[in-house]
């Protein structure tokens, strides 16, 4: 009997984590994408954990630039909207497996100087407690003029 109790206690966190991660659905990720297209920063951030991490496609480090916590991540997303006032992520497709997932998309936007951007990309997600813990973004690097 003690052995069964011990096994139950040891397995309980794993079972709870598995149940928590199952809260994230393709509909949840679509809602996240729609909030980005609406430039609705409060709804975007409501999809993310308090200790969230955003790893941007570009930046000074070999793996881009990292933003940690609601305040830094929110500011990074706001900077994208300021840089591309018409930013849009189209043709979104979402996939989930356990506590990981990804979304494919086509980003279009126009910088304030009139430069137009159109690239394909993907966000890799790690989920925790039914929300996004890590958003790691990748995109194609299109050669200017093409």
d(CA 32, CA 52): 14
pLDDT score for 133: 98
Rounded mean pLDDT, 89-105:
96
Which carries the bigger pLDDT value, residue 19 or residue 42? Answer: 42
Q: What percent of the chain has pLDDT over 90?
A: 75
pLDDT score for 94: 97
pLDDT score for 6: 45
d(CA 49, CA 46): 8
Rounded mean pLDDT, 130-144:
89
pLDDT score for 12: 46
pLDDT score for 21: 44
* Nearest Cα to Cα of residue 25 among 131, 138, 109: 131
pLDDT in tens, 62-91: 878 999 999 999 999 999 999 999 999 999
Residue 144 pLDDT level (bands cut at 50, 70, 90): low
pLDDT score for 20: 46
CATH architecture for the domain at 2-139: Roll (3.10)
User: What are the structural domain ranges in the chain?
Assistant: 2-139
Listed in order, strand segments (DSSP E) in 9-146 are 48-55, 66-68, 88-97, 100-110, 116-128, 131-139
Reply yes or no on whether the pLDDT at 28 is more than 60: yes
Residue 23 pLDDT level (bands cut at 50, 70, 90): confident
d(CA 48, CA 84): 22
128: which 2 tokens? 């925790």
d(CA 21, CA 16): 9
């Amino acid at each position: 009997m003690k052995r069964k109790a011990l096994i139950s206690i040891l397995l309980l966190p794993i079972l709870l984590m598995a149940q928590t991660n199952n809260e994230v659905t393709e509909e949840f990720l679509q809602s996240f994408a729609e909030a980005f297209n609406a430039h609705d920063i409060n709804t975007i951030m409501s999809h993310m954990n308090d200790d969230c991490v955003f790893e941007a496609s570009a930046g000074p480090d070999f793996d881009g630039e990292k933003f940690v916590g609601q305040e830094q991540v929110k500011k990074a997303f706001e900077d994208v909207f300021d840089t591309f006032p018409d930013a849009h992520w189209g043709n979104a497709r979402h996939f989930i497996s356990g506590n990981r997932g990804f979304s494919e998309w086509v980003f279009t936007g126009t910088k304030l100087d009139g430069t137009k951007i159109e690239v394909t990309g993907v966000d890799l997600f790690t989920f925790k407690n039914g929300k996004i813990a890590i958003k790691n973004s990748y995109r194609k690097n299109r050669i200017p003029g093409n």
